[in-house]
Amino acid sequence: MAVLLAPSLLAADHARFGEQAQAAVATGETWLHIDVMDGQFVPNLTFGAQVVRALRPVCPTAFFDVHLMVVEPERYIEAFVEAGAHAITVHIEATAHLQRTLAAIREAGCLAGVALNPATPPETLRYVLGDLDMVLVMTVNPGFGGQAFLPTAARKVPELAQLRVEAGAGFKISVDGSVNVKTAPGLAHDGADVLVAGSAIFNHPLGVAAGVAALREVLPV
């Protein structure tokens, strides 16, 4: 199956947020990755459900892939569901009761994702494999766009692909952090289903469409 690209709006021009989101969707990509940061789980602040709600009518057909980099993400599930999220990903390091949090996301009708910081091993997911729809492998420490790729963290991609086969599970493997024309082919080869890309798309010198096209060129069809 072709790899999905999820343009990450963190790297978009925030003064033209809606327009940039529309430009990403106009390339044919259906996912938009939305990074919510609380200044506590990660050392940076972005935006909350209000911004997601404002984007919903601007991009009515887009799949909103919300990545919560916040402590106690269970407190915000309802707000993001109401705002128009389709997938909600929480950090395993940020919630004390992961299974309950994932169940709440699914009950609300969204795909339930778990993000792993670079130092968090994938084995920790073994007992919630039946509760999740997506694993987000962070290949940078979350908090900022434009950081350097951590190859050791990317080793989790083939490990998760193997775990998925062994367990007969169907979760998607998504990768977030320094996805670009150099790193994307190896990640796709190793089993990634979704590649989140911020700088590579929104900071491409020729624009958003050129950023998407450059990535598409190095990925299998």
Nearest-approach distance from CB 140 to ligand DX5, in angstroms:
6
Binding site for ligand DX5 (CB under 6 A): 8, 10-11, 33, 35, 67, 140, 142-143, 145-147, 176-179, 196-200
From the CB of 166, what's the least distance to Zn ion, in Å?
A: 27
98 or 196: CB nearest Zn ion: 196
Which of 99, 111 has the CB closer to ligand DX5?
111
Q: Which are the contacts of 119, defined by CB distance < 8 A and separation ≥ 6? A: none
Question: Is residue 133 annotated as part of the catalytic site, yes or no?
Answer: no
Partner in contact with 208, chosen from Zn ion, ligand DX5, none, beta carbon below 5 to 8 Å by kind: none
Question: Of 38, 131, 176, 193, which one is the catalytic site residue?
Answer: 176
The entry of Zn ion, ligand DX5, none near residue 49 (CB within 5 to 8 angstroms by kind) is none
What is the per-residue DSSP string for the chain? -PPEEEEBGGGS-GGGHHHHHHHHHHTT--EEEEEEEBSSSSS-B---HHHHHHHTTTSTT-EEEEEEESSSGGGGHHHHHHHT-SEEEEEGGG-S-HHHHHHHHHHTTSEEEEEE-TTS-GGGGGGGGGG-SEEEEESS-TT-SSPPP-HHHHTHHHHHHHHHHHHT---EEEEESS--TTTHHHHHHHT-SEEEESHHHHT-TT-HHHHHHHHHHHS--
Rounded Cα distance between 155 and 137, Å, is 10
Beta carbon nearer to Zn ion, 107 or 179: 179
What residue ranges bind Zn ion (CB under 5 A)? 35, 67, 176
> Of 35, 38, 131, 193, which residue is the catalytic one?
35
The interface partner of residue 179, options being Zn ion, ligand DX5, none and the CB cut-off 5 to 8 Å by kind, is: ligand DX5
Q: Is the CB of 70 or the CB of 168 nearer to Zn ion?
A: 70
**Minimum gap (Å) between residue 43 Cβ and ligand DX5:** 10
- Only one residue has tokens 């020729």, namely 206
Residue 44 CB, shortest distance to Zn ion, in Å, is 11
Q: If contact means CB under 5 to 8 A according to the sort of partner, which of Zn ion, ligand DX5, none does residue 164 touch? A: none
Q: Tell me if residue 65 is catalytic.
A: no
Structure tokens at 203: 């900071």
Active-site residue list: 35, 176
